[in-house]
């Protein structure tokens, strides 16, 4: 009698083997997804195919009834009445959506546009120059690659990315590519300042003193990524960015006018319409952990599109690998725990959280579930 389970096992091992070598083949081109598009492929390689999309119920997409809140920050640092109104709206958004857009935030729109343009310039420059920056060494100050989790996930994303560590130590300008050197440093100054305001408001929204979150190190690390989503010939088979929650405390995102980001709200994927000049803010995992689930790190994703490229720039307030601060311990803030609100998570080292995030890749599950206290 033929042992069919054995044959199935062999077939599975074979697909696994093929996948690994196809991933390596793609990786070794150092040309990313843009390289595939430039070669005018009309089919996407199978390493990019997301089988789960074939099973998805498309009826729950793009509900226009509700939208991510837009908060006007005019007067936030000058007018106490405006500030308390803004704080209330921030609190509400963090509790219900985990996402909000800010207008009148003092980051010059010209700087935002130039930042997006610089990401485009990097990805569209001469491949030979670009290749020199291709790396998977996450301790580098600046690198470019396609899919940071290429070898961890079951399906790759239709996206290339530049990554840059901007704080706690500013990179030496020489380490940054000429096409985006100046604007990376300029943009990060504005993001740092807006981040400081945001962490004050978040502290106040939690009933803590304004400097609380800064004092425990939430603003120390800044990690920036610039995504380039090329046009995709078979968008229904893949994703630009898989369903995920963000690492770190808080993310500030700017995007061009193509659009595509979706937020999971009340079990529906809601489109976040591009609003020129707005900064999108979202709660990330460590903020959910320290607020003991008061603020929500919400799932989001970017479908692939037939049109492109689309560009976005995400700035994560978060420390990175190889920095002293990754030794810090975080747990739910004592002031937020009570008999009605018992502690949900244990205390963790940021390095344990980050290692887990990188090890599992973007697979739609929250790393936070690993840190829950046993009941
Ligand atoms: C991210 C992210 C969304 C986008 O970088 O974590 O969710 O619109 N990006 O590119
Ligand atoms: Ni994200």
Q: What is the pLDDT of residues 55-111, one digit of tens each?
A: 675 544 554 568 999 999 999 999 999 999 999 999 999 999 999 999 999 999 999
Residue 261 and residue 229 in contact, taking contact as beta carbons nearer than 8 Å: no
Residue 197 lies in a domain: yes
Q: Atom of ligand 1 at shortest distance to CA of 251?
A: 6
Sign of CA dihedral 39, 42, 44, 45: negative
The domain tally of the chain equals 1
Residue 118 lies in a domain: yes
Residue 12 lies in a domain: no
pTM: 0.94
Residue 291 lies in a domain: yes
Euclidean distance between CA atoms 239 and 119, whole angstroms: 20
Q: How close is the Cα of 339 to the center of ligand 1, in Å?
A: 37
- Tell me the chain's radius of gyration from C-alpha atoms: 21
Residue 15 lies in a domain: no
Residue 6 lies in a domain: no
Which residue's CA is the closest to the ligand 1 atom numbered 5?
314
What was the pLDDT predicted at 57?
59
227 lines ligand 1 (CB under 6 A): yes
Looking at every residue in the chain, the average pLDDT score rounds to: 92
Q: How close is the Cα of 239 to the center of ligand 2, in Å?
A: 13
**The domain that contains 118 carries what CATH number?**
2.60.120.330
Q: pLDDT tens for residues 205-259?
A: 999 999 999 999 999 999 999 999 999 999 999 999 999 999 999 999 999 999 9
87 lines ligand 1 (CB under 6 A): no
Residue 13 lies in a domain: no
End-to-end Cα separation, the chain, in angstroms: 49
What was the pLDDT predicted at 174?
95
- Structural domain range at position 167: 20-371
Residue 170 lies in a domain: yes
Q: Atom of ligand 1 at shortest distance to CA of 301?
A: 7
């Amino acid at each position: 009698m033929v042992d069919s389970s054995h044959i199935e096992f062999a077939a599975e091992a074979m697909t696994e083997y093929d996948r690994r070598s196809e991933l390596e083949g793609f990786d070794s081109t150092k040309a990313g997804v843009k390289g595939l598009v430039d070669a005018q492929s009309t089919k996407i390689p199978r390493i990019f195919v997301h089988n789960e999309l074939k099973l998805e119920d498309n009826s729950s997409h793009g509900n226009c009834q509700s939208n991510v809140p837009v908060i006007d920050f005019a007067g936030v640092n000058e007018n106490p009445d405006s500030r308390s109104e803004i704080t209330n709206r921030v609190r509400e958004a963090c509790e219900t959506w985990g996402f909000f857009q800010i207008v009148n935030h003092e980051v010059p729109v010209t700087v935002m546009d130039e930042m997006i343009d610089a990401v485009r310039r990097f990805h569209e420059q001469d491949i030979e120059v670009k290749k020199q920056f291709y790396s998977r060494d996450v301790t580098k100050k600046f690198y470019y690659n396609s899919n940071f989790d290429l070898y961890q996930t079951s399906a790759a994303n239709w996206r290339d990315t530049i990554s840059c560590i901007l704080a706690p130590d500013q990179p030496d300008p020489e380490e940054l590519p000429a096409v985006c050197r100046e604007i990376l440093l300029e943009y990060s100054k504005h993001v740092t300042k807006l981040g400081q305001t945001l962490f004050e408001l978040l502290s106040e929204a939690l009933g803590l003193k304004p400097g609380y979150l800064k004092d425990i190190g939430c603003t120390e690390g800044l990690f920036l990524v610039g995504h380039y989503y090329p046009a995709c010939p078979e968008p229904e088979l893949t994703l630009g960015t898989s369903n995920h929650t963000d690492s770190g405390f808080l993310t500030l995102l700017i995007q061009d006018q193509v659009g595509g980001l979706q937020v999971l709200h009340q079990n529906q994927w809601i489109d976040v319409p591009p609003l020129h000049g707005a900064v999108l803010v979202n709660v990330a995992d460590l903020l959910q952990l320290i607020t003991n689930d008061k603020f929500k790190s919400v799932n989001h994703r970017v479908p692939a599109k037939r049109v492109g490229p689309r560009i976005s720039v995400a700035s994560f307030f978060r420390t990175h690998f190889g920095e002293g601060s990754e030794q810090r311990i975080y747990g739910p803030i004592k002031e937020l725990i009570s008999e009605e609100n018992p502690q949900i998570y244990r205390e963790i080292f940021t390095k344990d959280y980050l290692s887990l995030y990188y090890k599992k890749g973007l697979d739609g599950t929250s790393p936070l579930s690993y840190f829950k206290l046993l009941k």
